[in-house]
Structure 1
Amino acid sequence: MELRAVNADSTMPLTGDVRELVRAEMERGGMSQAQVAREAGINSARLSQWLADKYQGDNATVDAAMRTWLKARSERASGDARLPGAPGWIPTATAKRVQAALFYAQMAGDIAVTYGGAGVGKTCTAMQYQRENPNVWIATMTPATSSLATCLERIALSVGIREVPQGALRIESAITSRIQGTGGLLIVDEAQHLSKAALEGVRSIHDLTQVGLALLGNESVYAQLTGGSRQAHFAQLFSRIGRRLRLNTPDKEDVEALLDAWSVPGDARENCRQVARQNGALRGLTKMLRVASMMAAGEGHALSNEHVRAAWCDLGGKA
């Protein structure tokens, strides 16, 4: 089997012993044997013995597995080179409002709630804020973390506790010991997945440490803090919220900034604006523009309205 160079900038065939090719790729990618073993789907000890030419088992099978791994790495690198990258984080008007809420929560040691529709940039902005500021932790919740114990476990991992103790009280103690006095900010993303007990547990961490707390999520996050008979359950949390930011749809300026970043031509912009008004907003628009850019690159042409329309249909939109 002929193997081509994994480096996407080279098309020179690679020949020679497969062990040498694997070692070269490991060095090029800065990969450990454990990483390679996981990607190749073989036992780490077996890979170590095979690389040292000391494996006493079925070497032909390992050879074949590693050739498959090298081929997959090569094809993935080639595909990544062709895949248009999305623009980096864009400081839109909405993103600046989210940043301001996060900054307030951290500097004041207070609670901020940012809620609204999907795809308006809450998570991306939180990640950018984390990159730009020290002692910022993002704990992303899912249905699996709805209970108090699982929520605390996710937070513990997010703040850097690798050996999470057993029991909610012990986990809470470990978290508070880790973050107290840091002047940090705990961002709980997708907070709509949390139960009443979990939300109160998050509030208790804030009370115990005076570290800033930001809750991000959809409309139901705020609704369950204020609505109906449930309001009494969340009285302590609701009374502590220092800043509330509701985001429904992206501002027009947000959409235009994204279109500028993708260099979308004028005749394609109205279709893009319509996509931004759909569920998913900027996230859906970004996915569509990436597909459209791939189509354009494959044809060797500049991005056009035809590519935008084709990408929208490809993603299930109506023509």
Structure 2
Amino acid sequence: MTNVLNLQNSNAEDQTAVLMRIKAKLDAKEVTSAQLAREISSSPATVSQILNGKYQADATAIVTKLAKWLTRNEEKKSSPVVNPGFVMTTTAKQIMDDMTYAQISESIVVIYGASGVGKSEALREYKRNNNNVWHVTASPSRSSLTECLYELAMELDMEQAPRRKGPLSRVIRKRLMGTEGLIVIDEADHLDYPTLEELRILQEETGVGMVLVGNNRVYTQLTGGRRNEDFARLFSRIAKKRGIHKTKVADVKAIGDAWNVSGDKERALMQKISERPGGLRLLTKTLKLAAMFCKGELITEKALRAAFNELENND
């Protein structure tokens, strides 16, 4: 076989071992010769000739591809695709560093920008890994001063908190004193000026850190055309601002690594999906559905595309 394969500058025994392992896979019907040829970007005829010792040219490059295929095949068996959960992306680390700064320095940080870049996931992960972090989400029904304070009281486990804003503010202030904690308000763009001002005063009086998170509107509320004397007072208390306006390429790479998606075509499609409205949120949903399609096997471009199409088209 050595003469037929023309194994120049290589270990003939190693390459013979590779071919024997490939034959065993084919004999066990773990893979077809046609599928194998596709996965190493070769022709079925070439693979057949090499395996049968009839290939007349230097087969080193093809045997090297077959060796890589064997390695990947074993990795697939030992590492079935599972949802990795939270992924520490570049953006997530920036957000969590900002939250650490707010908590340690007892100051206000504003994080704002595009939807679906991983802000909320990073907030939840920080809370899971740190003490005295209270995370509430504002909404149209919880945007008034009283409702926002009551939501915070529930997060502080104050089940018997009063419902009037004066007494409510006082008991929350007492609860927060000396905690060295962090208040996180997600979707803060829903909050009006009186609520934001109350939160500012609460933060200053108790010495806790505070992070206001939302879309670009949360920043516009503090600056923009409405920056009168009252808003200027609030704006001056903000120690740090983080604008995140699009998904980072590095974030998509980190998610691909976590999901064990390594092919160039798969990565390119992931990047395109991440650039759609919803960003990383849409990408993660697509990966979860694609993983279901693949039933534990590595996620393919075909599965990714099918999952994306199904999520985007409801008919």
TM, length-normalised to structure 2: 0.71
Asked if the contact 1:86–1:286 (Cα under 8 Å) also holds between the matched residues in 2, the reply is no
The alignment status of 1:284 with 2:282, answered yes or no, reads yes
The alignment status of 1:172 with 2:169, answered yes or no, reads yes
Aligned partner of 2:38 in structure 1 is none
Asked if the contact 1:265–1:305 (Cα under 8 Å) also holds between the matched residues in 2, the reply is no
Aligned partner of 2:103 in structure 1 is 106
Give, as a single letter, the amino acid of the residue that structure 2 aligns with 1:87: P
Equivalent residues in 2 for 1:227-238, closer than 5 Å = 227-238=224-235
Give, as a single letter, the amino acid of the residue that structure 2 aligns with 1:226: T
Once residues 231 and 287 of structure 1 are traced to their aligned partners in structure 2, the CA distance between those partners, rounded to angstroms, is: 42
Q: Measure how far apart 1:144 and its partner are.
A: 0.6
Aligned sequence identity (%): 39
Aligned partner of 2:306 in structure 1 is 310
Once residues 159 and 139 of structure 1 are traced to their aligned partners in structure 2, the CA distance between those partners, rounded to angstroms, is: 10
Asked if the contact 1:224–1:231 (Cα under 8 Å) also holds between the matched residues in 2, the reply is no
SS of aligned partner of 2:163 = coil
Asked if the contact 2:127–2:134 (Cα under 8 Å) also holds between the matched residues in 1, the reply is yes
1:155 to 152, 157, 177: 152
SS of aligned partner of 2:99 = helix
Once residues 169 and 231 of structure 2 are traced to their aligned partners in structure 1, the CA distance between those partners, rounded to angstroms, is: 19
SS of aligned partner of 1:315 = helix
Q: Measure how far apart 1:295 and its partner are.
A: 1.1
Once residues 301 and 195 of structure 1 are traced to their aligned partners in structure 2, the CA distance between those partners, rounded to angstroms, is: 49
Once residues 301 and 188 of structure 1 are traced to their aligned partners in structure 2, the CA distance between those partners, rounded to angstroms, is: 39
TM, length-normalised to structure 1: 0.70
Aligned partner of 2:203 in structure 1 is 206
Asked if the contact 1:225–1:231 (Cα under 8 Å) also holds between the matched residues in 2, the reply is no
SS of aligned partner of 2:271 = helix
Aligned partner of 1:137 in structure 2 is 134
The superposition leaves residues 198-237 of structure 1 with CA deviations (integer Å, 9 ceiling, x where unpaired) of 1111112112111111101111000110011344332221
The superposition leaves residues 62-113 of structure 1 with CA deviations (integer Å, 9 ceiling, x where unpaired) of xxxxxxxxxxxxxxxxxxxxxx753122221111111111011100100000
Equivalent residues in 2 for 1:33-48, closer than 5 Å = none
- Point out the more displaced range, 186-195 or 87-96: 87-96
Once residues 281 and 127 of structure 2 are traced to their aligned partners in structure 1, the CA distance between those partners, rounded to angstroms, is: 20
Aligned partner of 2:218 in structure 1 is 221
Once residues 242 and 256 of structure 1 are traced to their aligned partners in structure 2, the CA distance between those partners, rounded to angstroms, is: 31
Give, as a single letter, the amino acid of the residue that structure 1 aligns with 2:148: C
Change (3 A) 1:85 1:191: farther
Give, as a single letter, the amino acid of the residue that structure 2 aligns with 1:309: R
- Point out the more displaced range, 159-168 or 300-309: 300-309
The alignment status of 1:246 with 2:219, answered yes or no, reads no
The superposition leaves residues 126-182 of structure 1 with CA deviations (integer Å, 9 ceiling, x where unpaired) of 111112211111011111111111111111111221112021011111111111111
Q: Measure how far apart 1:249 and its partner are.
A: 1.3
Asked if the contact 1:108–1:212 (Cα under 8 Å) also holds between the matched residues in 2, the reply is yes
Q: Measure how far apart 1:250 and its partner are.
A: 2.1
Equivalent residues in 2 for 1:177-192, closer than 5 Å = 177-192=174-189
Asked if the contact 2:138–2:191 (Cα under 8 Å) also holds between the matched residues in 1, the reply is yes
SS of aligned partner of 1:138 = strand
Aligned partner of 1:76 in structure 2 is none
Change (3 A) 1:176 1:85: farther
Structure 1 residue runs without a partner (length 5+) = 1-83
The superposition leaves residues 36-56 of structure 1 with CA deviations (integer Å, 9 ceiling, x where unpaired) of xxxxxxxxxxxxxxxxxxxxx
Aligned residues: 233
Give, as a single letter, the amino acid of the residue that structure 1 aligns with 2:285: K
SS of aligned partner of 1:278 = coil
